[in-house]
Amino acid sequence: MPQPQGPPEDKAWTFETTPVWADEFEYTGQPDPAKWGYDIGGGGWGNNELQYYSDKRENSNVANGLLTITARKEASNSMQYTSARVISKNKGDFLYGRVEVKAKLPTGRGTWPAIWMLPTDWAYGNWPKSGEIDIMEHVGYDQNRVHITVHTEAYNHGIGTQVGQNKVVSTASTAFHLYRIDWTPYAIRGFIDNEQIFEFVNDGKGYRSWPFDKRFHILLNLAVGGNWGGAEGVDPDIYPKSMEIDYVRVYKMIEK
């Protein structure tokens, strides 16, 4: 008999207390190549962004217990800014779990930092069919408002149906805050400083609304301008600007 369609049961899954994968950034130099790679290039990244993503230490550097991703106003490969997009693809890929990132965000009109996840294998097709999980997004022209969002074929910003929540974090750029998702077969729940502000429930209708049954990896980046980040222009006089990451920790979901 085929299984009836419909939302799965929420089994109140919990998570292991020791990370299955983590980077505390307690070293000096480039991000650990056993854990991180880079997306490199320019061309707007689908959002008309202004930066060229490099693998240079000037754009992503580990020191003093922090990963610092820095956007700079400097021409590179026909783009007018440089920055970094550090990714765990094929080095840290996960299906379900708790993902925690402690970060301090940049300020300034035109900055667009993100802590997010993309599918490693794109099993259901190109964006947005295979999904996207935005653990933290911030645009500098709307200081201190932090967003948690998911995108799927049925729910995405391309057609104005994305599902998200946001919260004003008054010290988003002057202090470190904990950005987290708890991802189970039932739902993706988003938290800021361990306060839940977001929930997206699996409706059981298949990948168009819930492609989140495949492995995803983590991305850390700081974009400049773009459709959202640059919606109120870009202040060229503020750079360099940085996002600082204290740690990234992933905890395995305990099966039930």
Backbone angles phi, psi at 219, to 5 degrees: -125, 140
Give the dihedral sign, CA 33/174/114/153: positive
How many residues are present in the chain?
Answer: 256
Pairing verdict, β 145-151 and 163-168: antiparallel
Q: Under DSSP, is residue 93 helix (H, G, I), strand (E, B) or coil?
A: strand
113 conformational bin, left if phi > 0, alpha if psi -120 to 50, beta if neither:
beta
Quick one: which H or E segment has residue 167?
A: strand 163-168
Which one of 132, 195, 244, 255 is the catalytic residue?
132
Q: Which of 49, 58, 100, 137 is catalytic?
A: 137
* 137 classed as catalytic: yes
- φ/ψ of 100, rounded to 5, equals -125, 135
Three-state secondary-structure class, residue 183: strand
Q: 102: which 2 tokens? A: 């402690």
Q: Which two tokens stand for residue 171?
A: 């010290």
Does residue 199 have an active-site annotation?
A: no
Q: Could you give the residue numbers annotated as active site?
A: 132, 137
